[in-house]
């Protein structure tokens, strides 16, 4: 496992559509392992392969449980929404508010190619949406209804969000 270089938020690769994974082999496993180490080093909660310059449909979320999703597709979204504060592990990324579904169901493959279905709510649902958007070349700033640039305000919002997540 190794820590990979993160691409900057303004890198054009983040605007490109990722290709499906076809081979579930040692190269994929190495990519997933490197993504986990890179994500943990960054202090983030989720990442997509484009964050490290790889245009493959792979995401990883490491919150309370590590989740690896290969070729993920959102198959159901709740009508109920939530307004979440988002950023990115990509250097140079801003912060902003985005309206996301409160609940999503994602179908994907695991690292061995086995089908998996995951239903998520709240923060995890928003994280899945955010990372899957990356696979389609969509940045959260395109969906944001408010970008926050004041450092003190960002710190205040992040502290408040962390407290809310701990209560759940």
155: exposed, middle or buried (C-beta count within 10 Å: 0-12, 13-18, 19+)? exposed
pLDDT digits (tens, 9 = 90+) for 95-125: 999 999 999 999 999 999 999 999 999 999 9
C-alpha–C-alpha distance, residues 145 and 147, integer Å: 7
Of 131, 142, 146, 153, the catalytic one is 131
Q: How many domains in the chain?
A: 1
Do 69 and 106 meet the contact criterion of CB atoms below 8 Å apart?
yes
- Helix, strand, or coil (residue 26): helix
- Residues with Cβ within 8 Å of residue 11, at least 6 apart in sequence: 53, 90
Q: Which residue has the tokens 């190619």?
A: 113
H or E element that contains 5: none
* Residue 101 in domain: yes
* Residue 5 in domain: no
Range of the domain at 89: 12-167
pLDDT digits (tens, 9 = 90+) for 44-93: 999 999 999 999 999 999 988 899 999 999 999 999 999 999 999 999 99
* Residue 2 in domain: no
* Residue 6 in domain: no
> Which domain CATH number covers 162?
3.90.45.10
Do 104 and 125 meet the contact criterion of CB atoms below 8 Å apart?
yes
Q: Decide if 131 is catalytic.
A: yes
């Amino acid at each position: 496992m190794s820590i990979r270089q993160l691409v900057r938020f303004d890198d054009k690769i983040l605007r490109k559509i990722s290709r499906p994974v076809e081979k579930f082999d040692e190269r994929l496993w190495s990519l997933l392992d490197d993504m986990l180490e890179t994500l943990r080093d960054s202090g983030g909660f989720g990442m997509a392969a484009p964050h490290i310059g790889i245009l493959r449909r792979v995401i990883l979320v490491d919150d309370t449980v590590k989740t690896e999703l290969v070729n993920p597709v959102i198959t159901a979204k709740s009508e109920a929404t939530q307004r979440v504060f988002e950023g990115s592990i990509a250097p140079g990324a801003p912060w902003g508010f985005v309206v996301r579904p409160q609940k999503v169901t994602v179908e994907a493959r695991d690292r061995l190619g086995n089908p998996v279905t995951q239903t998520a709510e709240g923060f995890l649902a928003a994280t899945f949406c955010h990372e899957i958007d990356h696979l389609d070349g969509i940045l959260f700033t395109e969906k944001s209804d408010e970008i926050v640039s004041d450092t003190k305000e960002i710190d205040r919002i992040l502290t408040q969000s962390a407290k809310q997540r701990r209560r759940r």
